[in-house]
Amino acid sequence: MADPANFTITLAQLNPIVGDISGNAQKARDARARAAKDKADLLVLSELFIAGYPPEDLVLKPAFQAACRAAIEDLARETADGGPAVLIGTPWVDDGKLYNACALLDGGRIAALRFKANLPNYGVFDEKRVFARGPAAGPVTVRGVRVGVPICEDTWMEESDEYENVVECLLETGAEILIVPNGSPYTREKNDMRMAVSVARVTESGLPLVYLNQVGGQDELVFDGSSFGLNGDRSLAFQLPGFVENITTLRWTKSEGGWVCKGPVSPVLDGDRGDYAACVLGLRDYVTKNAFPGVLLGISGGIDSALCLAIAVDAIGSERVRGVMLPFKFTAKESINDAARIARNFCIQYDVLPIAAAISGFETILKDTFAGRNRDVTEENLQARTRGVLLMAMSNKFGNMLVTTGNKSEMSVGYATLYGDMNGGFNPIKDIYKTEVFRLSSLRNSWKPEGALGPSGKVIPVSIIARPPTAELRENQTDQDSLPPYDVLDAILERLVEREAPLASIIAEGYDRDTVVRIDRLLNLAEYKRRQAPPGVKVTRRNFGRDRRYPIVNKFRDAGERPAEPDQALVSRASGSAEAIDG
């Protein structure tokens, strides 16, 4: 007999795998067994859990839809044992339409279905193309408690013509508590955004809110978990940890003011710590979920490869990481020494393969073809391309995935050679600007995230962090011989990429006009290179992946001038369709 003054919820902040329907179902069973042991009334799993999130176009396959439904039906039958009810996300076909749904499984049946009403279609999300919009619906009843189930974006969107106020509908139809299953990917400052949105919904409704998010890496996205709850007075009910799986059972009690909970509160990872944890989890899941035995990366003695090595060892352990130094005549002795030191610090298998003979061979082959032409960047780029060929050969031979080590600053402006230092399967720092590369390297010497498998302490030599960056792509020149200092470069790029700021506004902030125009030009010219780069972890609001969709063939260039004010007098304002045609 349910206790009307107590409601026990088990939250399963888990790491589903897209397409692994049977594996995800087993995770749900294991979590339900834990919930039963804790005498929970309800187990909650995240958005589209049975399919894995985001399933993208996989969810359009009828065979996939049918397999998801069959798994949900099997789980529903198992609830006939009288144990906890289950709230689980799933694709669902109803009357020929495909929905992003949550199913309530209880008493051996699918006791209720709720469909997502507000479908995100911005940034990395593309749900309007694959899902039908569901209606706003009332709460579901679990052990006598009326539970509102807004799904992710149903609590996020602001009022507009397309917005369905799901929370208002739930309040008006008698909901007592809001449980929000989410597939919300990590970006810097995302925790503050989630909290602000949730506080707004609690303020509007007066209802307590449970925010359950999935955890894990999926291609370029990383889901950090960081699930939390708010009481009806907006006080924090609980906070689960970020970037790790967690199953927690929470006991809610009913008072005159509604349902109240006082659960555990874990610290939230954000800022540089959140970014580093995201890079580790993203690489770990990409390697593990794709069943690579390990990873391989080139170690130059520079800071980018040093940080990628730290991330790789933290992600999968030193025994699964292999580093290769590929020196040439321009490679500084200190770079060779630092590469060896960091390899020792992380206890990885380490090889040194000089590339002079290979480059000489290429130059011999090309000698007659290039006769009469001066040496230029073509010959210099042979260094990077030769390294790429050798690293890919080792990757093919041993089956290890090649990790790419280009940072966002240099990839933005084209300082990455195709088929050379952009070869590989995955780039953990693809969305990390160079200034943050320095910060994360210093941070790793004093801290590592929970579950990191690498050694503690000052593992990245200070000499690497302190040494001015070099680019053998430009032989012995530094990157900053042809680029502005990295703090200036990154500030300009952040405005161009993340904010889509007009050049005139950046110049008005005090940045040199010629520098801003040159960086914008380089950014546009490098679009084709970035299209061919491997995937990598997303940590900023807009990265060079699913967020930013620019044409490669593109003649528009912002001239850096203040835009002309629109001439409203030229526009005829029609009040009806006939008038519009006549006008």
Which H or E element spans position 530? helix 527-531
Whole-Å CA distances, 76 to 63, 85, 87, 111: 20, 9, 10, 9
Domain boundaries, the chain: 6-268, 293-531
Residue 371 DSSP symbol: T
109 forms bridges with which residues in the sheet? 106
Task: Please give the C-alpha separations between residue 467 and each of 6, 383, 478, in angstroms, as whole numbers.
Answer: 60, 22, 11
Tell me the torsion sign for CA atoms 426, 430, 432, 435. Answer: positive
Q: Which of 68, 152, 261, 308 is catalytic?
A: 152
The neighbouring-strand residues paired with 92 are: 99
Q: How far is residue 341 from each of residues 320, 350, 365, 461, 465, measured CA to CA in Å?
A: 18, 11, 36, 8, 13
H or E stretch including 428? none
- Alpha-carbon distance of 297 to 320, in angstroms, equals 11
Contact 134, 103 (CB under 8 A): no
What pLDDT, on the 0 to 100 scale, is given for residue 376? 85
Q: Which two tokens stand for residue 192?
A: 């503050």
Q: Which of 47, 127, 153, 410 is the catalytic position?
A: 47
Q: What is the pLDDT of residue 417?
A: 66
Amino acid at 201: R
pLDDT (0 to 100) of residue 557: 81
Report in angstroms the alpha-carbon separations of 490 from 223, 262, 328, 468, 514.
25, 43, 29, 16, 16
Active site residue 152: yes
| CATH code given to domain 6-268 | 3.60.110.10
Residue with tokens 């795998």: 17
Cα 19–Cα 20–Cα 23 angle in degrees, nearest 5? 160
Give tens-digit pLDDT for 105-146: 999 999 999 999 988 877 788 888 999 999 989 999 999 999
Cα–Cα dist 51/99, whole Å: 13
Phi-psi region of 539 (alpha: psi -120 to 50; beta: other; left: phi over 0): alpha
User: Any idea what the Cα angle at residue 527 is, between residues 525 and 529, rounded to 5°?
Assistant: 100
Burial of 176 (0-12, 13-18, 19+ CB in 10 A): buried
Distances in Å between the Cα of 1 and the Cα atoms of 63, 86, 258, 395, 416 are 40, 18, 21, 60, 65
> CA–CA separation, 583 vs 579, rounded Å?
6
What CATH superfamily classification does 293-531 receive?
HUPs (3.40.50.620)
* Burial of 60 from C-beta contacts in 10 A (0-12 / 13-18 / 19+): middle
Q: What residue type is assigned to position 356 of the chain?
A: A
Closest CA to 53 of 213, 165, 178: 213
CB atoms within 10 A of CB 390: 18
**Is 555 known to be catalytic?**
no
Q: How far is CA 46 from the centre of its chain?
A: 17
Catalytic residue among 27, 116, 408, 448: 116
The vertex-43 CA angle with 41 and 46, nearest 5°, equals 155
What is the rounded distance in angstroms from the CA atom of residue 94 to the CA atom of residue 391?
50
* pLDDT for the residue 472: 38
CA distance 568 to 425: 51
For residue 329, the model assigns a pLDDT of: 86
Contact 59, 89 (CB under 8 A): no
- Per residue, the 3-state secondary structure of 342-359, as one string, reads HHHHCCCEEEECCCHHHH
Check: CB of residue 535 under 8 Å from CB of residue 428. no
95: tokens are 């009357």
116 is catalytic: yes
**pLDDT of amino acid 179:** 97
Verify cis geometry, omega within 30 degrees of 0, for the bond prior to 54.
yes
pLDDT computed for residue 575 by the predictor: 59
Q: How far is CA 445 from CA 25, 283, 434, 461, 502, in A?
A: 40, 20, 17, 9, 38
Comparing C-alpha atoms, which of 418, 50, 431 is closest to residue 222? 431
Angle between helices 333-345 and 303-316 (to 10 degrees): 10
Distant-in-sequence, close-in-space partners of 358: CB < 8 Å, separation ≥ 6: 386, 389, 390
pLDDT of residue 164: 82
Q: Which residues of the chain fall below pLDDT 50?
A: 470-481, 578-583
